[in-house]
Chain A
Amino acid sequence: MATVAERQSTFTAAFDALRRDAAFAADPARNAREAAFARVTDRGFPSTRDEEWRFTSVAPIVQGGFAPAARPAAIDRAAADGLAIPGATQLLLVNGQLQGTPALPAGVSLRHGDIPAVPSVATVFADLNTVFHPHAVILEIAPRAVVDAVLHIIHVAVSADGPTMASPRLVINAGEQSQATVIETYADLGTRPAFTNAVTQVNVGGGAILHHVKIERGQASAFHLASTFAHVERAGTFDSRALTFGGRIVRNDIVATLDGEGATCTLDGLYVGTGETLIDTHTTIDHAKAHCPSHEVYKGILGGRARAVFNGKIIVRQDAQKTDAKQTNKALLLTDDAQINTKPQLEIFADDVKCTHGAAIGQLDEDAMFYMRARGIDVDAARNMLIHAFAGQVLDGIQSDAVRDLAVRLMEEKLNLAHQV
């Protein structure tokens, strides 16, 4: 189709240029890039006629003329430093490119090399990431390593010369019985809109515990599409929190596959939207094996004319007997113009399972507001406390104090709330 081809022209031109580059022949990811490019061309970009993109038009992104990042890009170093989390080991990626050689704690190493293919359920944007990512960053947690320090990956996107697409690719391999916390922060610097098209692949080995927090804190003009794929082996734990604080269009596709008995995942999230933000969250929990519990709590707080989409899919395969899946999605609408579309989606092929889901959309509880006022607490303070309490059900579960404090502060900044200790 002409329109699709036209929309892809920036990317086609960029890929042609990449192919012509002398280095391409030696790129170990060359074949994967070629195959991914063929898939992108074949699939085209989704429109709102696609069920999975019904409420999210990607037109401003695919028609935005975003070109894959030219490397290297200069950034405001002080601004990037401002994204650091106190006490954490920081790794900085600018437009997907790792900066410097960070000192890593014992049991953690970085390497380049082959990366796993994205699963077949991946969006076309995950394929697009495969085409254009610079060398993937592969973070290895050694088997049985217990890593106390928080590992913080800071992804910065910057549109230096023209509209730029950053394609960071991160792979986290948590070895058997290891334990670690990985935080990813996504931000953009500079005055021009930037587009981040990220893919993170996580493998949680047998008995390993991985805490993963993704913090998206883009500017109001930023575009952010991110896929997170987690594969959890026997008795492994994937504990995920997706915290989204803005941008113009933000879409998270999170897929967790519980692929060994006793594997478990927590997919929790908080999204805070104001102004014209659109935040779309699609999660899939795939129960592939028996005896796997999963817990999912998503909370949204929307003001201004913000819109949100939440689609929570739970698949229980035929072999996945004794599955115990709980999903909750709640949204707080602070203004009349804020809007959410929410849909749970259960696909159950086993017969001895427990699956519950619930969704609630509402305003601040008027009874609670009056109760607090009747005790002397003014409207602003009462509202403040209720919003903090609402978010707390997701944020309180974050184990690192520094990360939790940061998340609270980002929410407070976004919603102009007084700081609550």
Chain B
Amino acid sequence: MLLEIKDLRVRAEDKEILKGLTLSVNAGEVHAIMGPNGSGKSTLARALSGHPGYEVTGGSVTYKGQDLLAMDPEVRAAEGVFMAFQYPVEIAGINNSYFLRAALNAIRKHRGEEELDAMEFVQLAQAKARQLEMDPAMLKRSVNEGFSGGEKKRNEIFQMAVLEPQLAILDETDSGLDIDALRIVSAGVNSLRSKDRAMLVVTHYQRLLNYIVPDFVHVLTDGRIVRSGGKELALELEEKGYGWIESGLAGARA
């Protein structure tokens, strides 16, 4: 098993958001995490990536047999965890190429691999950019600075293609994308699907899952997974709305 989350409890800003979340993910699988606003979807993504604003108060996360929660964010990245940000950060004065080479070399160094020089990196990056139908000119721009919403999300997927993670977490990658951008981003994600790589796709809307078809769908409400199923669960949710799950829960509890 690649990732095993057990009874995870997470606080943010003095509020408990995740209240005992359990989830297992194998290599090669794509899991969709769906849920209404405030259910804890993004909290899960951020806690897994080691965001300092999210405090784990209970439970465990085992990744490749190791305690993920004991690792600093950069170590998680080096070990193959990648989160595509919901709101990618703009960094003035650092160009994409320099930033991404620093990231790739840090990860390669961690793995005991040779670092890439500027030329080798540019060749790799340009090949990946072509594969994702991106304009290589963006490599020379400052990280996300002045990028449109769609460009930022594509840049996230581009980074993912270069860094080749084992566990990719997509935090609301579809938010703010028009249908064309959604198609391009999804095609990029699909091209990165492999038997060695697992993906956790966090989304509010079923729409994204038309393009990135998951193996499993989990519904998160109030900090817990309340329902899991195959891809058809997403369609059912789309049709009936989250209220259906919530009222079902209310019924089950009664």
Residue positions of A touching B, CB distance < 8 A: 365-368, 370-379, 381, 385-386, 388-390, 392-393
Contacts and interface: CB of A to CB of B under 8 A. Distances in A.
A253 B110 CA distance: 49
B124 interface: no
Contact of A371 (B76, B88, B107, B110): B88
Nearest to B80: A376
Nearest to B89: A371
Interface string B204-226: 00000000000000000000000
Q: Which 9 A-B pairs have the closest CB atoms?
A: A389-B93, A376-B77, A375-B103, A371-B89, A373-B73, A376-B106, A376-B107, A373-B74, A389-B94
B53 to A, nearest CB: 8
Given A376-B77, A377-B103, A388-B94, 4 more contacts: A370-B52, A376-B107, A385-B94, A389-B92
A389 B91 CA distance: 9
B50 interface: yes
Given A376-B74, A376-B77, A376-B163, A381 B106 contact: yes
Contacts of A390: 93
B92 A393 contact: yes
Interface in B178-198: none
Contacts of B99: 372, 375, 377, 385
A374 B91 contact: no
Interface range on chain B: under 10, 10 to 19, 20 to 34, or 35 or more?
A: 20 to 34
User: Which one of A385, A388, A392 has the highest number of Cβ atoms from chain B below 10 Å of its Cβ?
Assistant: A385
Interface string B152-165: 00000001000100
Given A385-B94, A393-B93, A374 B77 contact: yes
22 contacts: A368-B89, A370-B52, A371-B89, A373-B77, A374-B49, A374-B73, A374-B77, A374-B85, A375-B99, A375-B163, A376-B106, A376-B110, A377-B102, A378-B72, A378-B74, A379-B72, A381-B106, A385-B94, A389-B91, A389-B93, A390-B93, A392-B93
A385 B102 contact: yes
Nearest to B144: A371
Interface in B65-87: 72-74, 76-78, 82-83, 85
B64 interface: no
A371 B73 CA distance: 9
A202 B83 CA distance: 54
B140 interface: no
A385 B92 CA distance: 11
Contact of B91 (A366, A368, A373): A368
Nearest to B95: A389
Given A375-B163, A389-B93, A392-B93, A370 B73 contact: yes
Interface in B105-142: 106-107, 110
A129 B83 CA distance: 60
User: Which one of B77, B93, B100 has the highest number of Cβ atoms from chain A below 10 Å of its Cβ?
Assistant: B93
A374 B73 CA distance: 5
B227 interface: no
Nearest to A391: B93
Contacts of B74: 373-379
Nearest to A382: B74
A365 B145 CA distance: 14
Contacts of A366: 52
A367 B85 CA distance: 11
Nearest to A378: B74
Contacts of B88: 371
Contacts of B49: 374
A225 B110 CA distance: 49
Contacts of B93: 388-390, 392-393
A378 B106 contact: yes
B89 A375 contact: no
Contacts of B163: 375-376
Interface in B1-55: 49-52
Contacts of A388: 93-94
User: Which one of A367, A375, A378 has the highest number of Cβ atoms from chain B below 10 Å of its Cβ?
Assistant: A375
